[in-house]
Amino acid sequence: MNRIGIIEIGVDIFNLTLTEVDDNGYFKILNEIHSSAKLTTSLLDNTKLSEEELNVTIANLKSFKAMCQVSGVKTIIAVATETFREATNSYLLADLIKDLLSIDIKILTVKEEINYNFLAVSHSIYFDNSLLVNIEGCSTHISWVKDGKIKESLSLPIGYLNITSNYNLADEISLEDIQRAEEETLQTLRECAWIKENSFDSIISSDIIVRSLGRIDRPKKKYPLDVAHNYEMYDVDVFNHFDFLIGKDLKSRKTIDGIKTREANIIVGGTLILKNILKLSNIKSVIASSNGLSGGLMYDYILNNFNITEKNMLDYSINGIMDKLNLNKSHAHQVYFIAKKLFKELKPIHKLGNEFDDILKTAALLHDCGTSIDYYNHHRHSFYIILSSEIKGLTHKQMLMSAAIAAYHRNNQFKLPLSQYNSILNKTDLKHIDYIGTILKIAEGLDRSLEGAVKDFSVIINSDKVLIYLNSRVDLEFEINQAMRAAKYFKNLYKKELVIQKF
């Protein structure tokens, strides 16, 4: 096990992300610390960092290094983005920081920054054809990713700081200023012809603007999950939030639920850029990613220092959670093997497609994760552990359905209060949860001895019965009795009698 500290020096903020890496290459975030950078003057007025700004940088890095040492961090990865990249004295300052603090700062090029963000998103969200957008202080990076590769990319000289400063968008906003800001933004964006000439499924972003809009959007919609990663908004949501925000002065914006104090003065300028990218591209969907530059740096570190056998992001995430919680992996995989085959064999009855494969996999492999807290109520704990684990590759609906199915794996009368999630799950989804949950009950019963006794089985469906014939070298009376405890649930749902016998 190793602990890594990721330090990011941005135009208006310093970030420290403390992570823990297991021996299998799975990592989790232990802590995040943010500190105001106040380096905007150099970027907006000139291209040289002042002595005062250098002192601010050194003071923050000194504190971050101390936190890393106290937390047992062995490796520090420090990068600087546009602040140092644009400063004429950046390399002299980087050398000074190395001499004073023994911290090597890598000054990222635009291409490197885009690639790290791509690495982060592509390892945490499934997508085929999207724009990756990162709105920063004085620039906006846009890349077109299709079929897992960056097809086009560019960096535009507009960001939330210079747009805000140039057009007085920090406090009270005049109609004239907002119109002038719109004109400049659109004019700059139109220089990128490939955005307007092609179609895209979504915008995916990890920047401060989209994350802030997500925090505004969820309470307004009374969204039941406080999960930022993979949260989806729509173009009309962004437009409505923009119209709402421009009518507020700075003091009023600071009181809006979801906006952090440091975001209140730049949220209008950043949202204006996002709104115009949406208009130009005609994209309808905006997806937030909690994996940004620090995530990309971590994935780069993992890929270069560990032999990662799991290339699928969902498998990587699930296996990491299983190892972290010390779950019985052989039992989990046996339950998944049985549940997966049962799901396939019962398709003529439940008529569910392959779109439920990831849900079934997650629920089956993590059904016992709640035992890490308490055995007797572990099904309840499994529900909120899955919901709280930010499993890579799952949408919010998939994550919620996986958690609910895992919670139903025991043969008891337990029912989740799923009505509170009706903005995510509809009645059909609840029926699907019951279908797959009953399959998981049977699969759990057939490995209740934890021995992996069932080697294979066949399923025969007739007019009034479903017959499961088990293949094993050992007696299966115990497993069959345990699995048959789900017979009444099966009959109620599938409208057929369940019969399980050893072949």
Q: Indicate where the chain has its CATH 3.30.420.40 domain(s).
A: 2-108+294-305
- What is the structure's pLDDT at 228? 94
Residues 361 and 425: their CA atoms lie apart, in Å, by 19
Determine whether 438 is exposed, middle or buried from the number of CB atoms within 10 Å of its CB (0-12, 13-18, 19+): buried
Question: Side by side, which strands form the sheet with 27-36?
Answer: 27-36, 13-21, 2-9, 75-80, 105-107
pTM over 0.95: no
Query: 2-108+294-305: what fold?
Result: Nucleotidyltransferase; domain 5 (3.30.420)
Q: Indicate where the chain has its CATH 3.30.420.150 domain(s).
A: 125-290
Q: Give residue 130's pLDDT band: very low, low, confident or very high (50, 70, 90).
A: very high
List the CATH code of the domain at 313-502.
1.10.3210.10
pLDDT, tens digit, for every residue of 359-409? 999 999 999 999 988 888 888 889 999 999 989 999 999 999 999 999 987
pLDDT, tens digit, for every residue of 18-64? 999 998 899 999 999 988 766 655 555 556 777 787 888 888 899 99
Q: Are strands 202-205 and 456-461 parallel, antiparallel or unpaired?
A: unpaired
- What is the structure's pLDDT at 374? 87
Domain 125-290: top CATH class:
alpha beta
Instruction: Please list, in sequence order, all residues whose beta carbon lies within 8 angstroms of the beta carbon of residue 80, skipping any fewer than 6 positions away.
Output: 8, 9, 90, 94, 105, 106, 107, 108
pLDDT, tens digit, for every residue of 334-348? 999 999 999 999 999
pLDDT, tens digit, for every residue of 53-67? 788 888 889 999 999
Give the chain's mean pLDDT. Answer: 92
Residue 383 and residue 406 in contact, taking contact as beta carbons nearer than 8 Å: yes
Task: Tell whether the torsion through CA atoms of 446, 450, 453 and 456 is positive or negative.
Answer: positive
Tokens describing residue 383: 């529900």
pLDDT, tens digit, for every residue of 399-436? 999 999 999 877 666 677 788 999 999 999 999 999 99
**Residue corresponding to tokens 């004109």:** 183
Residues 262 and 439: their CA atoms lie apart, in Å, by 49
pLDDT, tens digit, for every residue of 150-190? 999 999 999 999 999 999 999 999 999 999 999 999 999 99
pLDDT, tens digit, for every residue of 308-321? 777 799 999 999 99
Q: Indicate where the chain has its CATH 1.10.3210.10 domain(s).
A: 313-502
Determine whether 45 is exposed, middle or buried from the number of CB atoms within 10 Å of its CB (0-12, 13-18, 19+): exposed
- What is the structure's pLDDT at 89? 77
Residues 173 and 35: their CA atoms lie apart, in Å, by 27
- What is the structure's pLDDT at 188? 94
Q: Give residue 83's pLDDT band: very low, low, confident or very high (50, 70, 90).
A: low
